[in-house]
């Protein structure tokens, strides 16, 4: 079954093929050319335990552009895990739809759906990882700086779900990833061990100068993710804010990325996110095309 659960599940060639397809689909749409409709006559169930703007709109539009029918389901629509079990929900939905996309809290929920579904399942975000976002980010890096191997990325923030997918991407594509944040907010130790055992060039530091030095892509995320308590996070992450002064130490052609929504004045200043180095809206647009490529891959073997 062609599930899309985490980047580490795939070879570099498979991921690159999806990225190339996404870039081709984007170019075709910009030029007004038609492209294949791999979802013609197919229905994609889109399950949302967590609300979303970009995921909801980009997936729904992408399914339609590929000729399919999107079916939006909130947690309240399904009573997921509270009434009918997750296992039975996956089995039942598989009898009605051709693909299941799920955005949920627990990664175990995703894995359970994938284990019991008989149609492809796509991870549209869990508390562990966010691979669809990374595919859009990688597309953006290619558009600005070419092939991914040998590039450099600085991540400012905690070891959250997006950071986890950045680590997996760095291993698969051979670019350097510098993770800057307080030591007690580091990414999962098991993932770091996996990355380093597979040749990943991953640097963990609490020195912003080391992370930003001549780096090509600067990335951050909100300091308080959905479902997290704020606690002391504002104070802990204040030294890692991405601002104009920090960006001066990056490479001359460096871009700034953020998965959005952003809190201007906290993790990033308005001067940066709205400035000439910002690629955040190209990045957001690329969610549409990267996910169309993922959807096409999921159904191409089924």
Which of these is catalytic: 133, 151, 241, 291? 133
Which of these is catalytic: 259, 289, 291, 298? 259
Which of these is catalytic: 54, 103, 116, 258? 103
Peptide bond into 282 cis (omega under 30): no
> Would you call 287 a catalytic residue per the annotation?
yes
Which of these is catalytic: 221, 233, 241, 258? 221
Which of these is catalytic: 130, 145, 233, 289? 130
Contact assessment for residue 144 and residue 279, using Cβ atoms and an 8 Å cutoff: yes
> Would you call 291 a catalytic residue per the annotation?
no
Q: Determine which helix (DSSP H) or strand (DSSP E) holds 26, and give its type and residue range.
A: helix 12-31
Pairing relation of β-strands 43-48 and 99-103?
parallel
> Would you call 130 a catalytic residue per the annotation?
yes
> Would you call 298 a catalytic residue per the annotation?
no
d(CA 25, CA 275): 28
Give the residue among 265, 269, 261 at the shortest CA–CA distance from 245: 269
Alpha helices in the chain (DSSP H): 12-31, 54-65, 75-78, 86-96, 107-116, 131-145, 161-173, 189-197, 208-212, 233-237, 244-247, 270-273, 280-300
Which of these is catalytic: 3, 145, 287, 289? 287
Instruction: Enumerate the active-site residues.
Output: 103, 130, 133, 221, 259, 287
């Amino acid at each position: 079954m062609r599930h899309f659960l985490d980047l580490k599940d795939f070879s570099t060639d498979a991921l690159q093929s999806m990225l190339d397809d996404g870039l081709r689909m984007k170019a075709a749409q910009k030029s007004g050319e038609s492209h294949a409709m791999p979802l013609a006559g197919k229905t994609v169930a889109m399950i949302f335990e967590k609300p979303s703007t970009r995921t909801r709109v980009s997936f729904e539009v992408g399914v339609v552009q590929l000729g399919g029918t999107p079916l939006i389901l909130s947690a309240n629509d399904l009573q997921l895990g509270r009434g009918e079990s997750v296992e039975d929900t996956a089995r039942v939905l598989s009898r009605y739809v051709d693909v299941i996309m799920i955005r949920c809290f627990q990664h175990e929920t995703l894995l359970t759906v994938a284990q019991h579904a008989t149609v492809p399942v796509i991870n549209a975000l869990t508390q562990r990882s966010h691979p669809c976002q990374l595919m859009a980010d990688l597309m953006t890096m290619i558009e600005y700086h070419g092939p991914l191997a040998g590039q450099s990325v600085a991540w400012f923030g905690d070891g959250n779900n997006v950071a986890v997918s950045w680590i997996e991407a760095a291993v698969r594509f051979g670019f350097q990833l510098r993770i800057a944040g307080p030591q007690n907010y580091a990414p999962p130790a098991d993932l770091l061990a996996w990355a380093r055992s597979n040749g990943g060039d991953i640097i963990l530091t609490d020195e912003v100068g080391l992370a930003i030095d001549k780096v090509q892509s600067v990335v951050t995320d909100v300091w308080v993710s959905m479902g997290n308590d704020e606690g002391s996070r504002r104070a802990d992450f204040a030294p890692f804010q991405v601002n104009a002064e920090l960006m001066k130490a990056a490479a001359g052609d460096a871009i700034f990325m953020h998965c959005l929504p952003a809190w201007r004045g906290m993790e990033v200043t308005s001067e940066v996110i709205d400035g000439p180095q910002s690629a955040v809206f190209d990045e957001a647009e690329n969610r549409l095309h990267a996910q169309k490529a993922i959807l096409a891959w999921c159904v191409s073997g089924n």
